[in-house]
Amino acid sequence: MIGRLRGILASKQPPWLVIDVGGVGYEVEAPMSTIYDLPEAGREVALYVHYAAKEDTVSLYGFLHEAERALFRTIQKVSGIGAKTALAVLSGVSTAEFARLVQSGDIASLTRIPGIGKKTAERIIVELRDRVDGMALAGPVGIAGGVPKDPPTEAASALQQLGYKPAEAARLVKEAAANGDNAEAIIRKALKAALR
């Protein structure tokens, strides 16, 4: 089992990262909250890792902060929630904000996260209310790119990877993008707008 990776950030194409550890490139999927805080490619990084083995696949999920990994694991204990929805949660809200939404029973805000409908939001509140006490702040937000794309295309692609439908991702990007914005700024504004 892999619990942590430290190496060189070889590429960053949200939500995918490649971490070069001793000449082996580990492909890791990460929430936007982690991607925002990563340095540019070519720099050293250390990530907490969640290793998931299924019948036909092995996946690695990376997080800069232990609190993010803990929340990622906790969210998946709710019936009907998998890794994709857990990543969408972490990409949309901090661990502290998620804990606040759960403790206050804010179904409306939870349903704005891709993959979470009303019934799932209700299950999250019932099943996690006691488990989210003391969740630490996951950290601030930001992105860069491995394969060059224009910022709106990169932002739309990242939003689709987080579970937004292509048309919805395009709409969010169109509303959020301003002249001179990089993909990081567009994604940040689009996620904030989507969760309002």
Q: How confident is residue 9, by pLDDT bands cut at 50, 70 and 90? A: very high
* Separation of alpha carbons 163 and 103, rounded Å: 25
- Give per-residue pLDDT as tens, 61-95: 999 988 899 899 999 999 889 999 999 899 888 88
Write down the pLDDT at residue 76: 92
- Give per-residue pLDDT as tens, 22-48: 999 999 999 988 998 899 999 999 999
Q: How confident is residue 145, by pLDDT bands cut at 50, 70 and 90? A: very low
Closest CA to 160 of 87, 58, 69, 59: 87
CATH superfamily, with its number, for domain 4-63: Nucleic acid-binding proteins (2.40.50.140)
Write down the pLDDT at residue 133: 64
CB atoms within 10 A of CB 37: 17
Q: How confident is residue 135, by pLDDT bands cut at 50, 70 and 90? A: low
Tell me the one-letter amino acid at 5. L
DSSP string for 109-147 = HHTTSTT--HHHHHHHHHHHTTT-TTPPP--------SS
- Give yes or no for residue 132 having a pLDDT over 70: yes
Write down the pLDDT at residue 148: 40
Write down the pLDDT at residue 94: 83
Integer Rg of the chain from CA: 16
Write down the pLDDT at residue 138: 34
Write down the pLDDT at residue 129: 83
- Check: CB of residue 160 under 8 Å from CB of residue 147: no
- Give yes or no for residue 142 having a pLDDT over 80: no
CB atoms within 10 A of CB 128: 21
Which of 9-18, 126-135, 140-149 has the weakest average pLDDT?
A: 140-149
Degrees, nearest 5: CA angle 172-77-128? 80
